[in-house]
Structure 1
Amino acid sequence: MAERRRIIEGSWNCTSCGARNIPARHKNCPSCNNPRELTGKESEFDFGDVDPVTGKSTREGVTDAQALDLAGAGEDWFCAYCGASNRGDAKVCRQCSAERGSDAKAAPVADLSPKPPPAPAPKPRRLSKAWIIVLAVLGSCCFGTCAVGYWGNLEHDLQGEVVATSWRRAVVQERFVPETHTGWRDQLSTTAPRMPVNGAGEVPGVTNIRGCVSRQRGTRRVADGTERVCRTKTRKVACGTEEKCSRRDKGNGFVEEVCHDVTKYCNESYEDCQTETRYRNEPVYAQQCDYDTYAWKQMDQRELKGTDEPPRWPQLSAGANERVRREESYRVSVRYEDDGVKEHVLEPTREDEFLQWKKGQGVTLTVTNLGKVEKAVRR
């Protein structure tokens, strides 16, 4: 497409008398005859608005010969002696007749290239109720809870006394007995059992695999044909032309506007159809069988409990293919005062630790301001 060019005339404001919108062809203010100078706002021109889509100026282009001649005279220059503005092709200042020298100042040229539209301001995000609660908790931590936590972790010593001790001991008798289990055939391998010796070294074994039946073990995903699936998508397609314009500041109160037609693109919806594999879940079957094996089974249990007397084990022996398993637990109750009478329970894991605690014995407890017992030491 052919280019279309036109000249747009700007306007300036006089800072001496306040006259506004003076056409650029006037180098002096029509009201007060003050020459347009480089200082202040007089060196700046207003070229009007442009269409936000096409970039085309909303002002009419000039057609008279005088304005076109001024526009083609080159960039204005300002006299180094009197400061008056002059045509770009003038050799001497029109105001004071001083010759144009290297110290003459050029008129400022504005950058009128199209600017990308500003990014939309992000929408303020509203905090959910949950986040408001979280922030409130964090805020309170910074100004209150953290201080409370620091105070709460401070420790102090309190004096207490052992008021009770107790123990429990149990002996469990177990026997290695035959059992029938069920398992998947591919996971079973015939293994001879071995009986325990002194309650150890046993092997359960797998023997007499029998009664295998087919049962569902799970599912698997298998192809079940194909199907045509269509999805709506969007693409850019040419849909005619549109005018686009750009402007260049000539440095003398005029801009040159160049317009041309470019391809216009529009959004078009279309159906994207493809053949896709369809799947279904298919049951998976396997052989499940019964088999003989051995396992430890509890046969008997005897228990003893006590308080002041030393701990002892109940009597229970192990016969052939048997073993005994021992269980023990200990408790020491310490009473102390901390804003009232309180009790702390110790649980030693071994007999020798338990026997070091005696009823009536003094105890020093290290307690936090929040009441947590961190340590208990016999006195």
Structure 2
Amino acid sequence: MAIREGRWDCPTCGNAGLPGRDLACSGCGNRRPEGVRFYLPDDAAEVTDAARLAQARAGADWICEHCGVSARASQDRCPGCGAERGSSPRQQTHEHRFDEPAKEPVRALAATAPPKRGRRWKGPAALVAIVGGLMWWNGPVEVTATVAAKDWSRAIEVQEYRTVQEEDWSVPQGGRQKRSYRAIRDYRQVLDHYETKTRQVSERVQTGTRTYTCGQRDMGNGYFEDVTCTEPEYTTNYRNETYQDPVYRQEPIYDTKYAYEIEKWLPDDTAWARGDAAKEPAWPAVRIGRNEREGARIQRYVLRFTDDDGKTYEREVTPDQFARYRQGQPVKLRKKRGGGDVEIVEPQAGT
């Protein structure tokens, strides 16, 4: 497994990118203290020198329990204070798999250059601006307008009770059967036969295994070791096979259908009345003849407004609103900046 030399940053003077083999900072001379984290640049080359490989494989550094500086695994005494190793703890080691979220700081497995903050926030900032713009465009705004016109319409449906001819799968109550006959009511699928067909099928066959670098291990002494994994390798084989494909036919389902007469109230005419602000809303006069009656009643009331800029708006209102607002009366309207329907801002009680 390949070994690569990492880097560390001096916490005293800020000197960055110090070689992992160095136990002291080349800038200020201070020795590497406890807690220094190693990181591996993206372009770190594989170590091939025998002496440095032996240094890496000797094990994790130990931290002097007296002065807190790092010492190599091969050293019996602290290079800082000269104390014997004794029970001093080892530097911690860490392993990271490439397909898992890093548990260490991002820099531990990345290049030394810090991320550019402007580039990181460009996308989210633009999204926030777009969403904010849409919210503003669709947000409500109030305008002052005047009731320019009032229109109303009312209608009464006239229904006639008459005999009609209908057909159905049963005769309803009050119907008089005239005739019956057999008719197709539905269809069902029935297996008719099988057809022999050919199709291509595939199957995966293991042909061997592949060894690849799947992570890196911080060896705790300034070096990193590649972690290798193995996985099976497959090939896809294709072959033709025959199969029996079912063929279905649509078979009709017959039932008895009935023709009958029945009396029903059916729409025959509609009487309308229309007017504006000069005429009070009223229902139209309806002449009801023999075998006739009044049916549904429909009414619609519309107010039209003009604002200070000459723009016109229309709103369908309730009968109470239609009676309450006079032509020429100023009103407040609420609408979206982008257009669409308007609503009347009703005055609060007591104002």
TM-score (norm 2): 0.47
TM-score (norm 1): 0.44
Report which of the two structures shows the higher radius of gyration computed on alpha carbons.
1
